[in-house]
Structure 1
Amino acid sequence: MNIALLGYGRMGKSIEKIAIDRNHHITLKISEPEDKFDFSNCDVAIDFSVPSAAVRNITKALDANIPVISGTTGWLEDYESIVDYCNKKNGTFLYASNFSLGVNIFFELNKVLSELMGGLNDYSVSMEEIHHTQKLDAPSGTAITLAEQIIDNTHYKNWTIEKPEANKIYINAKRIKDVPGTHEISYDSKIDSINIKHTAHNRQGFALGAVIAAEWIKDKKGVFTMKDVLNIG
């Protein structure tokens, strides 16, 4: 499979290594805004760029009828317009806030736990997420996904990173050098606490999940998520 890398930072380089190890080829690398998009020798595109470039990158791939998956966070105010554009083009698009296979299992655990805790208002919920100092957005897209799952199943209405507030999930977003990603959710009452936690030991899990998603999506049409890739639900 011939892969276009839209964004060639730390994640792009990790994806490149794993893709080559799995006998794929990197036939296009886009790292600067002025780079030319020549998808003529590409089967699929993987976007791990920056928020300001994500919409452009995804749109260019859809225009070229190239399936595109994106793990860039911080641009989701435009997500629905990209979905509409993909459907208009009869294209192929998959977005995930986190491509780690373990994190996507963690999403399902979080969903089930929030459903179980939904009617137990004696418990307050909070979250801590830790990432490397080069991560541009806070909270992370993964933390937002986790918070939105909890909001869907509990009395909480929103999330905040400023300070704990009633009806808002407090997300303590930390940035520490060389931390790939940690997410912990806590339900606390006067009687006890319940915690679930996912800790990434390195970036390889994110890169591997992205390559697996690219392999899965190559010949499909439509808008997908990692739940489709993993056949969850």
Structure 2
Amino acid sequence: MSPRHKLALIGLGKMGRVLETLAPERGWDVVARIDSAANRDGSGITGRSLNGAEAAIDFTVPNAAAMNVRAAVDAKCPIVVGTTGWHDDLAAVSEWVRQRHGALLTATNFSLGVNAFEQIITLASRLLGAAGGFDAHLVETHHAAKKDAPSGTALTLERAAAVGWQREIPITSIRTGSVPGTHELLFDAPFETVRLTHVARDRRVFAEGALAAAAWLIGREGVFTMRDVLGTRADAGES
């Protein structure tokens, strides 16, 4: 039997609650739960509050993510960040983590399907862009409470598609109901349409990936993404 790991949850919103439920089934003991009320500017993340956690997972809000990363690294705890909307801070925080020999893994989406989808649309964009005669458009739909628009996943997918398309692709964002996440890339020509779609039916798919990422991150040093976890990056990470 594999040894159980100790996990800290930073953020107790929808994703935090899903992680808390799923973690014990995946070999984790949740030893720390840190919510926003007790974590102003990252002050609630300390060696003591982390309670021996081997890794932390952050699903909070964009303006808290960078401070949470710094606090976790200062406390010698590897951290996985699923919060989106803080991309402007990522380069500086990543360099800070490297200088302190910490461990950070970020992803705009932890779904294994989305990470495969990203590579599929790069290829499709290259082929259809070379063929000519097509327009491209990305549509993303999320629940009404999601704060960032476009979603972090949509921006990641647009960048992946633009590699093959060789120009920016417009994004339409829809916020409605309780949709966990749907992303559709459309290529339209006068006589045909190609639709590539990924649908997340349950937040558990994101929690599964985040827990797998946290287990992978234990004992490592550097800055990583899900491509490192899945072994689909050409280099060996960004350590």
TM-score, normalisation: structure 1: 0.91
Q: Paired residue for 2:236?
A: none
Report the Cα offset of residue 48 of structure 1: 0.5
Moved over 6 A (4+): none
SS in 2 for 1:172: strand
CA distance in 2, matches of 1:111, 1:154: 8
2:24 is aligned, of 15, 20, 28, to 20
Q: Paired residue for 1:108?
A: 119
**Mapped contact 1:33–1:53 kept (Cα < 8 A):** no
Q: Paired residue for 2:215?
A: 215
- The yes-or-no answer on 1:183 pairing with 2:183 is yes
1:222-233 matched pairs, under 5 angstroms = 222-233=222-233
Q: Paired residue for 2:131?
A: 120
Higher helix share: 2
Counterpart residue identity of residue 147, structure 1: E
Report the Cα offset of residue 222 of structure 1: 1.2
**Runs of 5+ consecutive residues of structure 2 not aligned to the other structure:** 234-239
- The yes-or-no answer on 1:29 pairing with 2:33 is yes
CA distance in 1, matches of 2:26, 2:208: 10
SS in 1 for 2:145: coil
- The yes-or-no answer on 1:2 pairing with 2:6 is yes
Q: Paired residue for 1:174?
A: 174
**Mapped contact 1:110–1:149 kept (Cα < 8 A):** yes
**Mapped contact 2:126–2:164 kept (Cα < 8 A):** yes
Aligned length: 222
Counterpart residue identity of residue 9, structure 2: L
Counterpart residue identity of residue 86, structure 1: V
CA distance in 2, matches of 1:181, 1:32: 24
Counterpart residue identity of residue 2, structure 1: K
Q: Paired residue for 1:70?
A: 81
Instruction: Kindly report the root-mean-square deviation, in angstroms, between the aligned alpha carbons of the 2 structures.
Output: 1.3
Counterpart residue identity of residue 119, structure 1: A
SS in 2 for 1:42: coil
2:70 is aligned, of 54, 59, 81, to 59
- The yes-or-no answer on 1:154 pairing with 2:165 is yes
Report the Cα offset of residue 33 of structure 1: 5.0
Q: Paired residue for 1:164?
A: none
**Mapped contact 2:143–2:176 kept (Cα < 8 A):** yes
Aligned residues with identical type, % of pairs: 38
CA distance in 2, matches of 1:132, 1:121: 35
Counterpart residue identity of residue 22, structure 2: I
SS in 1 for 2:36: coil
Q: Paired residue for 1:92?
A: 103
CA distance in 2, matches of 1:47, 1:120: 42
CA distance in 2, matches of 1:60, 1:120: 49
CA distance in 2, matches of 1:77, 1:232: 25
